[in-house]
Structure 1
Amino acid sequence: MKDGREKWHERLKVTLWTLIVPPTVWAAHFLFSYLWAAISCAKAGRFATFPWLFVIGTVLALAAIALSGWIAWHQERMAQTPPPHEKGTDIDRLRFLAKSTLLLAGLSFVAVLFTALPVVFLGDCL
């Protein structure tokens, strides 16, 4: 902003730690999905009619990945320098990490959707 106040997402900096958030959320959702399926099949012999816990877990995973991608998108699009970001400066490293985080967020978002698809199409345990 022009009066010196930054928005909250502008204060956040994309680092290697934020780079691993989307695939980590996907991996946690993947583990949660398989544990949910194993427990459902062992106890009831089928999936629940409408698995609220699974839906809530999937929505939370998608929201966390989308938030991570949104922050990375804003960091990558800051109007200080145009692409390509190939120099070794701090801003170029930030932009590279932001672009990488954005791409990983997109891949992880699709991966969570594909992990959730069997629950939609399969009604019972085989």
Structure 2
Amino acid sequence: MKDRRRHWSERLKVTLWTLIVPPTIWAGHFLFSYLWAAISCAKAGAFATFPTLFVVGTFLALILIALSGWIAWNQGRIPGASPPHEDSTDIDRLRFLAKSTLLLACLSFVGVLFTSLPVIFLRDCL
């Protein structure tokens, strides 16, 4: 089973398009959060007692960002020459993009958590 997962993640290639996936998910969650808060406040005048839709959206965003970071982490561990990776080879470019994607995934994960904090602490729509 582990070999199937490893091969699945190794088949996916980290590119510039995969680099923007975590911040895009974060931005989508940010937009979703504000829309959810606006609709909740307009309908009920206060946040719901337990915001099920918001929790599901937050967990979905966190899972997708974690999956993106996990794929980047696996791609960055491809064996090759030892550091520093200064050559213009395909492996060095892949490692650079994988490391950048991993760092953006970590930042986006924390960003989604911080975007979710107002729902936890604020209960009034004033």
Range into which the TM-score falls when normalised by the shorter chain: over 0.9
Q: Which moved more, 1:77-86 or 1:115-124?
A: 77-86
Gapped runs of 5+ residues in structure 2? 1-5
Other-structure match for 1:113: 113
Other-structure match for 2:57: 57
Q: Which runs of 4+ in 1 moved over 3 A?
A: none
Aligned-residue RMSD, C-alpha: 0.9
- The separation in 2 between residues aligned to 1:28 and 1:94, in whole angstroms, is 26
Other-structure match for 1:123: 123
Q: What are the equivalent positions in structure 2 for 1:79-94 lying under 5 Å apart?
A: 79-94=79-94
Per-residue CA deviation, residues 36-75 of structure 1 (Å, 9 max, x unaligned), is 0000011110000000000000000000000000000000
TM-score (norm 1): 0.93
- The separation in 1 between residues aligned to 2:24 and 2:46, in whole angstroms, is 28
Deviation at 1:121, TM superposition (A): 0.3
Q: Which moved more, 1:82-91 or 1:31-40?
A: 82-91
Per-residue CA deviation, residues 63-95 of structure 1 (Å, 9 max, x unaligned), is 000000000000001222332222111110000
Other-structure match for 1:43: 43
TM-score (norm 2): 0.93
Q: How many percent of aligned residue pairs carry the same amino acid?
A: 79
Gapped runs of 5+ residues in structure 1? 1-5
**What letter is aligned with 1:12?**
L
Per-residue CA deviation, residues 3-54 of structure 1 (Å, 9 max, x unaligned), is xxx7100111100000000000000000000000000011110000000000
Other-structure match for 2:10: 10
Other-structure match for 1:100: 100
